[in-house]
Amino acid sequence: MHGIILLTETKSLFGLSFVANPILSPELQAIEAQNRRDIRIVEARPKLMRVGFAFAIIADVAMLAFFAFVIIGYLVSDSFTELRSAAGFDDNVAAMHAIAKGSDAQQLTLGPAKVVQGTSTSYDFYATVKNTNTDWYATFTYNFSAGGAASRTEDGFVMPGETKYLLSLGTKSESRPSSPSITLENLVWHRVNRHDAPDVVGWLAEHGNFLLTTPTYAADIALASANIGRTTFTVTNASPYSYWEPQFTVILERAGTVVGVSRATLSQFTAGEIRDSEVRWYGEIPLTATATVAPNVNFFDESSYMSPQGSQGIDPRDLLK
């Protein structure tokens, strides 16, 4: 162990002597310096703690402010994004509505309802319907009424670009109904699938390729005390499709005025087949008249078609050669 030597120096002035400040050894000077540093650290610690605490508070406040800024920014940004999305959606809806509006099917054109005598106790109603749309067809139900008489409800359809007769036959009435009217209900528009029928006119012509001979009319069938009339015609199914029960509308006219309406149904009319058909007229019939015949088939209804013969390796169109 080393001892510490304290050195003093005695000086005299005007005969008086005194002791000057002691001279510390190097070891003691180092200890003194360390003590002063410790004292300063001890004295500064509360201040440092207060400063550190203040910085911690500032850091916390800054973090909270940043967090709040991020949250508020996200909410505001998200709100604007939703608003922009909603606005964009509304714009899209408006655009789609405008497109759909421009391509909406035009309304059907109905002719006036009329009535002709069918038999001595029943009457037949008819009216024309016109579809001016080239890529829309319509399905609906309809019925006729006149005074106290009302027809049954019928299923109807009209192909693109078609004008046809709507019929309701055999409405019982003791007297001729007056002021007839027609009502269309359950109207549904169907847009033609352009993938299946890129050329609608050509597609319909192919599916409805029925070759009709000129119908003949004669009032030469004797029945009791009166004659009844008949219209005969021949139909060739020149299409490549076979149909279960295709209907044909028959209109009888005299001097341009409709005097009779009827239907002919050909059961299981296969592709390439030739069929004779006859329609008979009862009631008040003219001695002479002309008849027109037109197919009445929903070509877009798959249930109209029989199983294709082509699946058996036979091209139906070969039957026509």
As a whole number of angstroms, the distance between CA 89 and CA 70 comes to 27
pLDDT band at 89 (very low <50, low <70, confident <90, very high): very low
C-beta of residue 144 within 8 angstroms of C-beta of residue 156:
no
Predicted confidence (pLDDT) per residue in 283-300, tens digit = 888 999 999 999 999 999
C-beta of residue 106 within 8 angstroms of C-beta of residue 160:
no
C-beta of residue 246 within 8 angstroms of C-beta of residue 297:
yes
CATH class of the domain whose range is 108-194: mainly beta
**Average pLDDT of the chain to the nearest whole number:** 82
C-beta of residue 117 within 8 angstroms of C-beta of residue 123:
yes
Q: Is the pLDDT of residue 88 over 50?
A: no
Of the two residues 19 and 270, the one the predictor is more confident about is 270
Q: What is the largest CA-CA distance in the chain?
A: 185
As a whole number of angstroms, the distance between CA 152 and CA 24 comes to 133
Q: Is the pLDDT of residue 101 over 50?
A: no
C-beta of residue 249 within 8 angstroms of C-beta of residue 163:
no
pLDDT band at 130 (very low <50, low <70, confident <90, very high): very high
Predicted confidence (pLDDT) per residue in 235-269, tens digit = 999 999 999 999 999 999 999 999 999 999 999 99
Query: Residue 66: its pLDDT value, please?
Result: 73
Q: What radius of gyration, in Å, describes the C-alpha atoms of the chain?
A: 52
DSSP annotation of 175: S
pLDDT band at 85 (very low <50, low <70, confident <90, very high): very low
Which of 66-70, 106-110, 142-146, 284-288 is predicted with the least confidence, judged by mean pLDDT?
66-70
As a whole number of angstroms, the distance between CA 314 and CA 270 comes to 12
- Which residues are within 8 A (CB) of 31 and not within 5 positions of it... i.e. 6 or more apart? none
Query: Residue 207: its pLDDT value, please?
Result: 98
pLDDT band at 170 (very low <50, low <70, confident <90, very high): very high
Q: In the chain, which segments carry CATH 2.60.40?
A: 108-194, 208-321
- Which residue is listed with tokens 């049954």? 152
Q: Is the pLDDT of residue 18 over 60?
A: no
Q: Is 290 exposed, middle or buried (0-12, 13-18, 19+ CB in 10 A)?
A: middle
pLDDT band at 311 (very low <50, low <70, confident <90, very high): very low
Q: Tell me the torsion sign for CA atoms 297, 303, 309, 311.
A: positive
Q: Name 201's bridge partners.
A: none
- Which residue is listed with tokens 């009435």? 173
- Which residue is listed with tokens 């579809």? 131
Check whether domain 208-321 has CATH 2.60.120, yes or no = no
Of the two residues 121 and 223, the one the predictor is more confident about is 121
Of the two residues 253 and 317, the one the predictor is more confident about is 253
Q: Name 115's bridge partners.
A: 125
